[in-house]
Each structure stands twice: as C-alpha cells, then as structure tokens.
C-alpha cells in the first residue's frame, strides 16, 4: 500500500496541475477588480480590471521545464498570446504542493500579502511576498486599475463633500518587473529616493531577476547596465529635446503614429519618463529584454501577434556579455550567438529558452593546469603534444577588462607572456599594445557592419589536440599560397589576384584532389574546363560579355562556366567578378568556385543553378515548359525570392568590408537553385565604395528598364541605384510581366500606347486595387498583405529622389514584417508619364 501511494503521488500532482491549468484558462463570468479586507484570492481565481483589459492571478510560464513553479502576476487579459506586465514573486516561485494553500489577502496590518496558509486556520504560514508597508493601517483594499496598475488604497467612508482620496499606499507601477506599460512612470523620486529600476527576466519561462537593468539616474540619464559583472553599456542623457526626437521616430511608423505619446517630467519632486496611448483599446509595452535590449512592442489585431517597433541599442550585440562567456556575437546572423571554436553550449536548454548567461565551455580542458604557480610547469613546450596553442579570431572586438603587459613589445613576447600563466585564456597585440585576459572572455563581437567595424584579432588559448586539424589546414594553406604566387607570375594577372589568398583548398584541376566544392577559389586549366563542358557545347545562356555553359567536374559536381568574350571588356569583367564575388560569401549570392586565365582566355566557374534565371519563370506566356519558359512560380516562392534578393543586397551594401554596388540588378541576374532560393549573379559591373565615402563616380552602366535617374544625369552614384533596380524587379515579380512591355488584354496586345506598369502599380496601391496588379497566372492564390507590402516597398524604391528610397537593411525589415511603410507619393517622372498617357488616350 505504501508503494502504491508513492507511485500514485506523481500522477496525482500531474492531475492537479492539469486541472489548475484548465481552470486558469477559463474566463470568469463575473470577475471583480478589487480585494477587500477579509477576502482572499486563491489559485483558481483572478481579479479583472473593470475595462477587462488586465487580469491579476496565479500563472505558470508556458512550456516551463520546472513544472511546479507558479507566480502571482498581472497580464493582458484579452490578448491570446499570454504576456505578463508585472510579477510579484519573481525570485520566490510557488511550488505545486504549496499552490492549493497559497492565498493573496489583506493582512491585519493593512499590507497586501501572498502567503502559504497551513491547515490550522488561525495560524499564519510563510510569507512569499508582501507590499511591506511599515506601520499598521486600518481599512485597506487592493484594486486592479484599468491601466494595469495594482493599487493598495485606504478605504474611504461615504460622505458628502469629502476631500479627494489620498494617494495609494503602494502601487505596482512603482515596483516594475521587466515591463513598463502606458501610464507608468520610469524614473525616480528626488524626495523619497524611490528608483523605479527595471530588471530583465532570466528566460522565456523564468521571470526571475535576470542579467540586465535600466534606470534613470540623475545627471547620468538613462543607463543600461549588466548586473553581474556590473558594467554600463549604454547611456542616454536626459533632455527635453529627447521627447521631440522620440515623437518624430514614432510618427514615422504608421503603427505608432498618434498612438504612443511620450513625455518627460523634471520638477523638484520627481524626474521621470512616461508614455500614454491615445487609444484605450490598444495594447503596448516597453520591456528590457533578457538579451539586454530595450524593446517597444505593439499588439497587431490583424496579425494576432506582438510587433517590434523599436529596439535600443540598435545592434543586438552591444549589450555587455549578451551571449555569455566564450561566445562570439554576430548582430547580422540569426541566432546572433555562437560558441567559439572548440567550445560548446554550457546548457543547450537554457539557450533555447533565451538564457545565454552560462555561455559556452571548452570541449577539451587546457593542458596547462589552472592555478599552477610553477612557471616552468606552466610554460609551453614547442615539442610536447599536450601543450596549449593559440588560435586567432579575426575581425572582432577585444573582450572586456583586459590587462596590459608593458614589456611585451611584439606579438611573440605578448603570446609568451600569456602562455606563461595558466589562468591566461587569450591575448591580443594591437598598435604596439599587449593585452591579456584571465578567466572567462565576455563581449567578443564579430564585425557585423551594424555598429561594429572592428578589425582586431584575438588569440584564444586552446588545447593542442583541438588544433591538430587546424594545424594541418594551416600548412596546406601555406602551400596553396606559394603555388598561387607561381600562378600569378605565370599568367601575368595583376595585383587584384592577391585577394585570392583566401584559398584554402584546390581541386585536381590545379594539382589537388578534391572537386572544388570545399569552399576555396580554384585555379582551373583551360583544357580541364573544355573537357568539363564537352568543348563548350551545352549553352545555358549568353550576355553582353560572353556565354555561359553547363559543365561537370569529377562526373558529379555540376557547374556553370562563363566564357568571357572580347579582350578588353572580358578582362575588365573578369577582374570585377573575382575581386567582388570572389571574396564574399552569402547564401543569396552566387558562389564563385574558380577561374581560368591562360593567354587571352578568361573563364569563371560558378555553382550551377538548377532552375536557371528568374526571368525564365516570370515572363513566359504559357504553362510551365511551353515556349522554353520555366515553371510558373507560386506566391510563396515569389515572396521568398523577394526576401532573399533583399538580404543579398543588404549584405553587399551594409555588411562587407567595403560597400559593393552591383549596378545591374535585373531578373536575368537572379538565379534560382533547386528549391527556388535566389542568388544574385553577374558582378561584372560591380563597383566598390569605401566606408569613408558615400558616393563613387563611375562610368555609365546597367540595363534599360532598371536604371535609376541619377545614371542619366552622370552624377556620382550610391547604393541607392541598386535599390531603384530592386524596386523595378519587385514589380515584375509581383505582376509576372515586364515593366515596360506592351500591355496585354484578353490575349491581344493593346496598341494604343505602351503601358508603363509602375504607373499602374502605384495608382493601384493608392486606390486599394492590388488584385489587378498580381500575376493572373496565380488565379488569385496570393497573400494580400504580402502583396501590399511588396508593392509599397517597390514604389518607395523607385522614387525619383534617391534620398526618398529606403536602404536595403530597412527593406529587409519591412519584408520581414518588422517595420511598416506609409503609402509612397507618385514620383514626378511617373506622374508625367501618367499625364502623357492620359492625353494620348483622349486624342
């Protein structure tokens, strides 16, 4: 019987848990908003504000691995995505066995108390949380206001002409968790010293006190701080001028225009920021995320989800130690955090739940025993296989809290200084300064092109056996570089080939034994490429600079070989493509596998794209395969193509060491792989813009129909010429027709005039008629919201004034649904075309 009871106990608790969860989700038919003396709030009950917007009760975080943890908190009552705005017992969760005995009530001294009551009715149990007001107070009650503020009030008796009620004895707005909602003050009281500090939560399922805090601190202004170790990583000076700037920012977004109203107050008693909502039915919250960013979210009724409006700092890697120790943060990747080489996540479950404070740990312990005081034992031997080595990590910010070694005046001595101490985990030698670190490494952030442009190199200490493969690759790389110099001398290629030191492997086509797919650029022989393409017999396409042929390497690796024509233009395009696409890698940029340069022969070898170029799928007039056309693209594929091309251009413009302007974005230069993922190709016209410059003066280039107006005027161009071309391509992807081709109606061309589709697009967008703009071959099977988004982006991209066009980074955010755009104005050029067309049609 005893064994049976023990085995039944877990089942019993699970039953109770499921029952409580079920009861918790049921809306109460007649919920009160107040708790008076003598009343209690139990686990299966809740208070609801009189407007129904907020609820106070017991909750359990969704999908929590700690199945028995419960909390008392306030949440949005009408929103299907459970979102808390305040938690009472953040660091003292209620266990499941305690839950059925836990009550919220007014205590004898007038405080609001959350406590566990034992079976003796008169006895007091342990206090979990309390408002903790000193001094006994007679007659108090708790009220959940319509703003989501929990108030402890003095009960007022009925009397005529009575003075206004006194201020609350206590309110949850003065003790925020990780969220600030409309009507709540964020700041401090100069008389009482009350500081409304906001502290992030630990993870998605743990509302406990997390790693970051934000507060308003007098002359220091708003400060964002890592709590352990303490480190201020962002601050903004308090100033009344900040409010107009915030209002301007919020007014730019239609989701917050006129909805979010910020204000700043500074008087002898208080200094604080506050924001209100002009629409009581709208929902929003400002939170300190567990990653260390301040984020403003607004609820979208149409999308039934929270929409991120604003984040500060803008670079998600800026918060100190946001990825934990021994990690690398890359703000342009998703997820942003990754372990350093030879390290693994300390707790994969915590990472999945958003808590990365534990960071990463070594896969193999260091050979040097930590804490050794014997310098001879802790020094490194160059011959022992068990000694530690240092591995470089390039283009990163150096970690927090370095120690400077004064007498190490070169990198070798700097490394020796670190190697001689077992606790030294990394060193860096930059600008004649030797810096070393002991223990954990924090805030090693990769140059992501957002706010981080560091070119520093960090040398991290690793166990020797972890670096055996790396050492072999290093020797192979050195040999490849030697052969590369020989190739350069032989074929007389100028200095741009020095960029090819990024080679890591070679295939058998130039003396190696691989198929060229290992990631390095390969130098091919002309005879090998002629053999691979069956003497250039299977043409895939042709362009202004040459033709492209299908080829096969090692009987399995399919490639596309571009043979450039014309000595002068061919050489120019050859250099442009190798010096651009040859040194960058992105999932939405075509991969350059190798090249051939023998005599006057110039060939480029690319990965083969199974579904060819985008134009073959957009501009056919019959079903798939008819007339040589490709398959009709469904809406999902089209939207993914749009998003992929935008991400590729954003990478070229904003994330490379130098900004790369493609200069010839069009459907013919967008290739599709087997799953219709897009890759931007043909960098023969590309130009580079240094990060210290915003424009570049170059020769006229591009394709009619996709040229930005500034090309015609001959001024120096910016990346906005690619933005213009991208806008034109967007319209073609949406409509399935050329922007400048004669309009077709009923299968016959309308010969009255040539219809310029961008005119129709912007007019249809402003009139709310999108259905007529979408490719009719889709037969109405498309997402109206996405079509509107594409059309808005396209019409902003083709604005005549380049300053009105969005940057590609903004375009990506809009297409991802993270940013909204207003209706674009009609460009003057399009308006002129419309006027001319109207005049022509009336004659």
Residue 752 has pLDDT above 70, yes or no: no
Mean pLDDT of 57-63: 83
| Mean pLDDT confidence for 398-426 | 92
The H or E element that residue 762 is part of is: helix 757-767
Domain boundary among 587, 607, 627: 607
For residue 67, is pLDDT > 70?
no
> Does the CA dihedral 630-634-635-638 come out positive or negative?
negative
pTM assigned to the model: 0.55
Do residues 373 and 308 share a domain? no
What's the pLDDT band for 565 if we cut at 50, 70, 90? confident
| Higher per-residue pLDDT: 318 or 138 | 318
DSSP character for 70?
B
Between residues 265 and 252, the one the model is more confident about: 265
Residue at a domain's end among 98, 121, 155: 155
pLDDT band at 581 (very low <50, low <70, confident <90, very high): low
**Catalytic pick among 664, 682, 722, 775:** 664
Average pLDDT over every residue of 192-206: 94
SS3 526: helix
**CATH code: domain of residue 274:** 2.90.10
From 29-43, 484-498, 752-766, the region with the lowest mean pLDDT: 484-498
Domain containing residue 634: CATH number: 1.10.510.10
600, 647: one domain = no
718 falls within a domain: yes
Query: Are 346 and 439 part of one and the same domain?
Result: yes
Identify whether residues 753 and 672 lie together within a single domain.
yes
In a domain, 467, yes or no: no
User: Are 650 and 621 spatial neighbours (Cβ–Cβ below 8 Å)?
Assistant: no
Residues 340 and 197 in one domain: no
Evaluate if residue 30 carries a pLDDT over 70.
no
Name the strands in the sheet holding 424-430, side by side, starting at the edge strand that comes first in the sequence: 388-394, 457-463, 424-430, 433-438, 403-405
370 backbone dihedrals φ, ψ, rounded to 5°: -65, 140
The DSSP symbol for 314 reads S
Confidence of residue 654 (pLDDT cuts 50, 70, 90): confident
Percent of the chain's residues with pLDDT above 90: 44
To the nearest 10°, report the CA torsion of 409, 411, 416, 418: 100
Q: What is the pLDDT of residues 696-730, one digit of tens each?
A: 766 667 888 898 988 877 677 889 999 999 999 99
pLDDT of residue 829: 67
Q: How confident is the model at residue 159 (pLDDT cuts 50, 70, 90)?
A: low
* Higher local confidence (pLDDT), 369 or 192: 192
Q: Residue 298: its pLDDT value, please?
A: 94
CATH code for the domain of 504: 3.30.200.20
Q: Within this chain, do residues 548 and 450 fall inside the same structural domain, yes or no?
A: no
592 and 621 within one domain: no
Same structural domain, 719 and 773? yes
With beta carbons less than 8 A apart as the criterion, state whether 243 and 266 touch: no
Residues 424 and 375 in one domain: yes
Q: Do both 689 and 825 map to the same domain?
A: yes
The residue segments making up the domain with residue 432 are: 327-459
Find out whether 629 and 619 touch, Cβ atoms under 8 Å: yes
Instruction: Classify residue 413: in a domain, yes or no.
Output: yes
pLDDT, mean of residues 414-419: 92
pLDDT tens for 530-562 read 999 999 998 887 765 678 899 998 777 889 999
664 catalytic, yes or no?
A: yes
My answer on whether 792 and 646 are in the same domain is: yes
Whole-number pLDDT of residue 322: 94
472 annotated as belonging to a binding site for a ligand: no
DSSP 8-state assignment for residue 200: E
Last residue of a domain, one of 261, 280, 313: 313
Question: String of b and e for 186-223 (b: at least 16 CB within 10 Å)?
Answer: bbbeeeeeeebbbbbbbbebbbbbbbbbbbbbeeeebe
- Tell me if 46 is assigned to some domain: yes
Q: How does DSSP assign 76-110, residue by residue? A: ESS-SS--EEEES-TTSPBPHHHHTTEEEEE-TTS
Q: Is residue 800 part of a domain?
A: yes
- Residue 731: strand, helix, or coil: helix
Whole-number Å distance between alpha carbons of 417 and 573: 49
Instruction: Kindly state whether residues 106 and 73 are assigned to the same domain.
Output: yes
- Mean pLDDT along residues 832-843: 55
Domains identified in the chain, total number: 5
Does residue 58 form part of some domain? yes
Task: Please tell me the predicted confidence (pLDDT) of residue 759.
Answer: 85
Peptide bond just before 31 cis, omega within 30 deg: no
Contact between 758 and 798 (Cβ < 8 Å)? yes
Band (pLDDT 50/70/90 cuts) for residue 515 is: very low
Confidence of residue 4 (pLDDT cuts 50, 70, 90): very low
Q: Which of 210-224, 499-513, 691-705, 771-785 has the lowest mean pLDDT?
A: 499-513
Q: Is residue 246 part of a domain?
A: yes
């Amino acid at each position: 019987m005893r064994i049976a009871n023990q085995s039944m106990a877990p089942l019993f608790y699970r039953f109770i848990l499921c029952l409580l969860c079920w009861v918790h989700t049921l809306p109460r038919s007649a919920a009160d908003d107040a708790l008076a003396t003598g009343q209690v709030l139990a686990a299966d009950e809740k208070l609801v504000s009189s407007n129904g917007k907020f609820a106070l009760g017991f909750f359990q975080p969704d999908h929590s691995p700690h199945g028995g943890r419960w909390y008392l908190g306030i949440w949005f009552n009408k929103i299907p995505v459970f979102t808390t705005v305040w938690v009472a017992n953040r660091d003292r969760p209620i266990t499941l066995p305690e839950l059925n005995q836990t009550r919220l009530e007014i205590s004898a001294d007038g405080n609001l108390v959350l406590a566990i009551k034992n079976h003796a009715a008169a006895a007091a149990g342990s206090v979990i949380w309390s408002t903790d007001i000193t001094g006994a107070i007679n007659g108090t009650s708790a009220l959940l206001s319509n703003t989501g503020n929990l108030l402890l009030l003095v009960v007022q008796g009925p009397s005529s002409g009575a003075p206004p009620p006194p201020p609350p004895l206590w309110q949850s707005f003065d003790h925020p968790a990780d969220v600030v909602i409309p009507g709540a003050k964020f700041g401090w009281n100069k008389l009482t010293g009350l500081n409304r500090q906001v502290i992030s939560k630990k993870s998605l399922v743990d509302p406990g006190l997390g790693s970051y805090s934000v507060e308003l601190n007098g002359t220091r202004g708003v400060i964002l701080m890592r709590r352990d170790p303490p480190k201020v990583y962002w601050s903004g000076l308090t100033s009344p001028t900040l409010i107009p700037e915030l209002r301007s920012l919020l007014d730019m977004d239609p989701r917050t225009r006129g909805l979010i109203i910020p204000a700043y107050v500074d008087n002898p008693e208080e200094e604080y920021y506050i924001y209100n909502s002009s629409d009581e039915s709208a929902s929003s919250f400002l939170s300190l995320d567990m990653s260390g960013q301040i984020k403003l979210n607004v609820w979208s009724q149409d999308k039934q989800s929270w929409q991120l409006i604003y984040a500060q700092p803008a670079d998600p890697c800026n918060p100190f130690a946001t990825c934990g120790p021994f990690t690398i943060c890359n703000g342009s990747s998703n997820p942003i955090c990754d372990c350093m080489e030879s390290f693994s996540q300390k707790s994969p479950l915590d990472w999945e739940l958003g808590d990365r404070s534990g960071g990463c740990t070594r896969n193999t312990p260091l050979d040097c025993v930590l804490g050794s005081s014997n310098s001879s034992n802790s020094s490194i031997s160059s011959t022992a296989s068990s000694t530690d080595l240092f591995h470089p990590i390039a283009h990163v910010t150096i970690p927090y809290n370095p120690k400077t070694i004064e007498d190490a005046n070169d990198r070798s001595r700097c490394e020796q200084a670190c190697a001689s101490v077992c606790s030294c985990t990394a060193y860096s030698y930059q600008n004649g300064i030797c810096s070393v670190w002991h223990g954990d490494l924090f805030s090693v952030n990769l140059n992501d092109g957002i706010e981080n442009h560091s070119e520093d190199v960090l040398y991290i200490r690793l166990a020797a056996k972890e670096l055996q493969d790396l050492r072999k690759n290093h020797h192979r790389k050195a040999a490849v570089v030697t052969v590369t110099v020989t190739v350069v001398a032989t074929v007389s290629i100028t200095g741009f080939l020095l960029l090819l030191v990024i080679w890591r492997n070679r295939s058998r086509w130039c003396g190696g034994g691989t198929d060229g797919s290992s990631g390095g650029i390969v130098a091919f022989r002309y005879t090998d490429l002629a053999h691979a393409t069956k003497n250039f017999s299977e043409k895939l396409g042709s362009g202004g600079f040459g033709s492209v042929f299908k080829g096969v390497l090692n009987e399995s690796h399919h490639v596309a070989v571009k043979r450039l024509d014309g000595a002068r233009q061919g050489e120019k395009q050859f250099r442009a493509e190798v010096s651009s696409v040859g040194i960058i890698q992105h999932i939405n940029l075509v991969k350059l596998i190798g090249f051939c340069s023998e005599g006057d022969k110039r060939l480029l070898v690319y990965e083969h794209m199974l579904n060819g170029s985008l134009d073959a799928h957009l501009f056919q007039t019959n079903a798939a395969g008819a007339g040589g056309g490709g398959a009709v693209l469904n809406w999902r594929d089209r939207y993914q193509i749009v998003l992929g091309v935008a991400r590729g251009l954003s990478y070229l413009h904003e994330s490379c060491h130098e900004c790369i302007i493609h200069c010839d974005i069009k459907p013919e230069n967008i290739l599709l792989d087997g799953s219709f993922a897009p890759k931007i190709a043909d960098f023969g016209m590309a130009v580079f813009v240094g990060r210290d410059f915003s424009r570049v003066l170059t020769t006229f280039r591009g394709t009619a129909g996709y040229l930005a107006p500034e090309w015609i005027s001959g001024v120096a161009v910016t990346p906005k010429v690619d933005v213009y071309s991208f806008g034109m391509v967007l319209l073609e992807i949406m409509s399935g027709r050329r922007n400048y081709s004669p309009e077709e109606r009923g299968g016959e061309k309308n010969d009255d005039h040539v219809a310029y589709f961008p005119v129709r697009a912007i007019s249809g967008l402003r009139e709310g008629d999108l259905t007529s703009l979408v490719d009719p071959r889709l037969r109405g099977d498309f997402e109206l919201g996405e079509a509107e988004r594409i059309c808005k982006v396209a019409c902003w991209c083709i604005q005549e004034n380049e300053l009105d066009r969005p940057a590609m980074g903004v375009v990506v955010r809009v297409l991802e649904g993270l940013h909204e755009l207003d209706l674009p104005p009609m460009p003057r050029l399009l308006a002129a075309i419309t006027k001319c067309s109207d005049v022509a049609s009336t004659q």
